[in-house]
Chain A
Amino acid sequence: MTVSQETLDEIALSRAEYEAVVDRLGREPSQLELGLFGALWSEHCGYKHTKALLRTLPSSSDRMLVAPGAENAGVVDLGDGLAVAMKIESHNHPSAVEPFEGAATGVGGIIRDIFAMGARPIALLNSLRFGQPDGARTRYLLNGVIGGISSYGNCIGIPDVGGEIFFSNAYKGNPLVNAMCVGLIENGRVASASAKNPGDLLLLVGADTGRDGIHGASGLASRTFGEQAELRSAVQVGNPFLEKVLIEACLEALVLPGVVGLQDCGAAGITSAAIEMAERSGMGLRLYVDRVPRRELGMTPYEVMLSESQERMLLAVTPGHEGPVFELFKKWDLDASVIGEFETGSNVSIFDEGILASTTPIVALTDAPEYILSNQKPQWLTTLQNADLSKVPMPDTSPAETLLRMLAAPNIASRFPLYRQYDYHVQTNTVIEPGGDAAVLRLKGSKRGIALSTDCNGRICFLDPNVGTVIAVAESCRNLSVTGAEPVALTDGLNFGNPETPDVQFQLTESIKGMSRAAEAFGIPIVSGNASLYNESAGKAIFPTPIIGSLGLLEDVEKHSTVGFKSEGDVIVLLGSESVWDSTDGLAGSEYLDFVHDRVEGQPRIDLDLEIRVQSVCRAAVRAGLVLSAHDVSDGGIAITIAECSIIGGIGATIDESPAAGGLRWDAAMFGESQSRIVVTVSADRLSDLLALAATEDVPATVMGTVGGDALSFGDMFTTPLATAAEAWKTGFSAATSD
């Protein structure tokens, strides 16, 4: 073999993969072809280490209009002639190198996936992970990422309605930036990223092509990197104004006669977009690289094919119909050029100035190798899981002080200082704003509404990738259910370390098993997804972080529930547990154990069957108008849940039983994170109706106390003024992230 190791490193192919290329072609690839293989066989485009696992995920549902992987995003039917496209995508590595542009182009990329389906983007969410916010580098990354998301999203007129942010030093060298977009298909017509007939023209529209982002997919996203600075040129630069105009122009173009397909240019640029389009159409393709409008002089065909310049889309247009398409794009001041045509056959032929540069079988390019992962549980994990949590020392602060400390923790404090930097009102559909368990949007012209959430506790997935992922799905659905919405679809953003190591192979395998189990139990499909591997720095992998984006449906959006306690005298009821307070087991993987004791250990658990019944009762109670507020118990345990309900509602609460009642550890009682618990309130005269409803599904329902006053009282143990708790919770985030 003549190819140098240096060349292979540049395109991130192994020697064995190179040999597989030669084997498939029956010859050595040209330099241009090698670039195509490097891009399409990258982990990012080729899913080499996840394909086999992803096939096992449940993907069928009566509501499914477009199956996962078939197009750029999954599409779900919501009834009333409405359908939504949804997907989550990562931009971790670019954000680690250039946080502002990395995050901004991540948002831009996922929006293109959505409007490529013919959907008008109606919501963005983002799921972020950083190291502890006390370091200068983390602050730089945090400010850059928030600035990038804010600048791109605000400019483009799509509301940013939710998501999460979580700090742990497991993400210190490798932050996670996942963006989710949801789009509404208004006219019932789902677009396809394919051509109809041989002879159809391939049009490139939008931005000119430059040298930015070359090797973005293969370089940044598909290997570990210590040489960040050298890869900076692989980060693209975004222009939200251009994207906004591109959305309007493309949605208008889709109604023109003869416009048969729409595809976004994302990772690996024209290479991936055009070749995948041809494969989907079952046709061959001729590409004329010299017709691609350039931003820079002297670009080679290799550079044009692999550029990841942003804000570009491909259209398939029946010949003879291109005139009105050109006129439309001219109206929007956008370039449109015919850069190729579909043909019968199965090869992609690339021409430059009339000369054939390469002809390659499409199937050889798109059918990337598939690796089967090992599944060996590491011994260190068993040790962590078996840690004796009863030996954890009690904190050196009083219960009241510990509650205030927890309320101000970077992972618990109010995120308002962050999301007030995003426009969450534009499009005037936002019924529940960021800060609730899930965002709720109304759908104009219908009584229906949708709820959206993203969730994943990486710490719990680290302690048990299988159970942790079940919990991620359960929590995401629970966040929908507390608003009253029925979960209908999921999208997954897999963020893991180096898949060539046994520990990460175990984490990936078990995580997907857990996701499958949970999605099947809830009876909802995973309609789209994304995998980002090689997330590690200095040889240390991040926590396994399978982020779950969830979509819920409200038949009547007026009938929804919110977090805040409402009125004096309302009764506080805990659904899902017979005891008010948690036990020592609940400390496993908890925020309290990590934040106060710097320990990540224990065995997380969930009873999936109970979880489903608890959520079902909660939804029924919201629908019946029984519930006045609802908030699930998650990070920080039930004491934090109660405090949040009070702070947000602006009214105090009295819990009757002391957290130390019956000789319990008060810290575990208050801050344990046992699953499947929801705190609801009900007016005193309807309490018996709620308890009866819970009994029909055999769900424990425990009266905890009463809403009212201006303090938080925890039995006879302690009372804290609500204003003090609110101050801790409201200022904690800014205090932790600034000097």
Chain B
Amino acid sequence: MRFGIVVFPGTWSERDTNHAISGVLGQEAEYIWHGDDKIDHFDAIVLPGGFSYGDFLRCGAIARFSPVMEAVRAFADRGGPVIGICNGFQILCESGLLPGVLMRNDHLEFRCIWTDLKVENSSTMFTSAAKQGQVLHIPMSHGEGNFQADSATIERLEGEGQVVFRYADTNGNVTPEVNPNGSINNIAGIVNGRGNVLGMMPHPEKACEALIGGTDGNVIFSSMIENIVNSLA
């Protein structure tokens, strides 16, 4: 299958994502420049991490006006799989493809650490290779990952199983001590109501080989590959 990886000026995770998807998992991957709007030949779209347009306004606030984001919106509306990682998650929220906002970390510092993510919903197309409640060891790296939304939205996300990942300890306990940025309910990743758009702050592409600390990130890309290949067959 073929992944399209969107590149804005200031994106820096496109090469890492490409390495994980094509170098490690053997799939096709191509870069999509932010000025392009023809993306229909891809089976899935990745909005990778970085600082699109320097994040001068709010994270992702300028990126959402680029031509490629119109195309991504249409792609998602047709049910196409879209995953936004870190800055990509921020862009999805700014574009309205996902609810909520990502605010400055509550301690006000940038944070680069390994996190343990509890899989709260293993029936999505992004997590079907994981067991329900499994803990994935995946790094994060951001200054603005504090997920917040109004209480009605949170209630809906929680009620409909749209909370996919939560920050937890290695045993899967979700506690305030392991919340790295102040996100409400320790939320680290969510899907839209239809289940085809995922946003997450930690970087699965940074956990793709044992040599660099682990392979748990592959669970997410492998889930996507399996589900998409099956749906194409």
| Chain A residues within 8 Å of B, Cβ to Cβ | 150-151, 154-157, 239-242, 244-245, 332-333, 419-431, 433, 442, 444, 557-558
**What CA separation (Å) do A442 and B109 show in the bound complex?**
28
| 6 examples of A-B residue contacts, CB within 8 angstroms | A156-B12, A239-B54, A241-B55, A242-B54, A421-B110, A426-B13
Could you say which of B9, B16, B55, B203 has the most chain A C-beta atoms within 10 Å of its C-beta?
Answer: B9
**What CA separation (Å) do A60 and B113 show in the bound complex?**
40
B-chain residues with CB within 8 Å of residue A150 when the two chains form the complex = 110
**What CA separation (Å) do A431 and B214 show in the bound complex?**
10
Tell me if B51 counts as interface (CB < 8 A to partner A).
Answer: yes
**What CA separation (Å) do A244 and B49 show in the bound complex?**
14
Residues of chain B from 6 to 43 with CB closer than 8 A to chain A in the complex: 9-10, 12-13, 15-16, 19-20, 23
A-chain residues with CB within 8 Å of residue B141 when the two chains form the complex = 154, 423, 425-426
Are A157 and B50 interface neighbours, CB within 8 A? yes
Of A151, A419, A428, the contact of B20 (CB 8 Å cutoff): A428
Given contacts A426-B13, A442-B211, contact A421 B51 (CB under 8 A): no
Interface of A (DSSP majority class): loop
Are A241 and B9 interface neighbours, CB within 8 A? yes
Tell me if B139 counts as interface (CB < 8 A to partner A).
Answer: yes
Of B51, B54, B110, B212, the contact of A442 (CB 8 Å cutoff): B212
Are B54 and A428 interface neighbours, CB within 8 A? no
A-chain residues with CB within 8 Å of residue B213 when the two chains form the complex = 425, 430, 433
Given contacts A241-B51, A427-B16, A442-B211, contact A421 B9 (CB under 8 A): no
Are A333 and B9 interface neighbours, CB within 8 A? yes
**Which chain B residue lies CB-closest to A430?**
B212
Are A154 and B143 interface neighbours, CB within 8 A? yes
B-chain residues with CB within 8 Å of residue A423 when the two chains form the complex = 110, 112, 141
Are A241 and B12 interface neighbours, CB within 8 A? no
How far apart are B136's CB and chain A's nearest CB, in angstroms? 15
**What CA separation (Å) do A332 and B205 show in the bound complex?**
25
Are A420 and B112 interface neighbours, CB within 8 A? yes
A-chain residues with CB within 8 Å of residue B54 when the two chains form the complex = 155, 239-242
Are A244 and B12 interface neighbours, CB within 8 A? yes
**Which chain B residue lies CB-closest to A155?**
B51
Tell me if B206 counts as interface (CB < 8 A to partner A).
Answer: yes
Are B56 and A241 interface neighbours, CB within 8 A? yes
In the complex, given contacts A420-B112, A428-B206, what are 11 additional A-B residue pairs having Cβ atoms less than 8 angstroms apart?
A155-B51, A241-B9, A241-B56, A244-B12, A244-B51, A421-B110, A421-B112, A422-B112, A427-B15, A428-B16, A430-B213
Tell me if B75 counts as interface (CB < 8 A to partner A).
Answer: no
Are A420 and B111 interface neighbours, CB within 8 A? yes
How far apart are A393's CB and chain B's nearest CB, in angstroms? 41
B-chain residues with CB within 8 Å of residue A424 when the two chains form the complex = 112
Could you say which of A151, A430, A558 has the most chain B C-beta atoms within 10 Å of its C-beta?
Answer: A430
**What CA separation (Å) do A48 and B211 show in the bound complex?**
46
Are B112 and A425 interface neighbours, CB within 8 A? yes
Are A444 and B23 interface neighbours, CB within 8 A? yes
- Pairs A-B, 7 closest by C-beta atoms: A157-B12, A241-B54, A423-B141, A428-B16, A155-B51, A425-B206, A423-B112
Are B19 and A428 interface neighbours, CB within 8 A? yes
**What CA separation (Å) do A245 and B50 show in the bound complex?**
12
**B180-214 interface mask toward A, CB cutoff 8 Å, 1 = contact, 0 = none?**
00000000000000000000000101101101110
How far apart are A289's CB and chain B's nearest CB, in angstroms? 29
**What CA separation (Å) do A142 and B111 show in the bound complex?**
17
Are A245 and B10 interface neighbours, CB within 8 A? yes
**What CA separation (Å) do A214 and B209 show in the bound complex?**
47
**What CA separation (Å) do A333 and B212 show in the bound complex?**
35
B-chain residues with CB within 8 Å of residue A241 when the two chains form the complex = 9-10, 51, 53-56
Are B139 and A244 interface neighbours, CB within 8 A? no
B-chain residues with CB within 8 Å of residue A244 when the two chains form the complex = 9-10, 12, 51
Residues of chain B from 45 to 66 with CB closer than 8 A to chain A in the complex: 50-51, 53-56
Residues of chain B from 108 to 161 with CB closer than 8 A to chain A in the complex: 109-113, 139, 141, 143
How far apart are A247's CB and chain B's nearest CB, in angstroms? 10
How far apart are B62's CB and chain A's nearest CB, in angstroms? 11
**What CA separation (Å) do A429 and B15 show in the bound complex?**
12
**Which chain A residue lies CB-closest to B113?**
A420
**Which chain A residue lies CB-closest to B143?**
A154
**Which chain A residue lies CB-closest to B24?**
A428
**Which chain B residue lies CB-closest to A422?**
B112
Of A420, A428, A444, the contact of B205 (CB 8 Å cutoff): A428
B-chain residues with CB within 8 Å of residue A151 when the two chains form the complex = 110
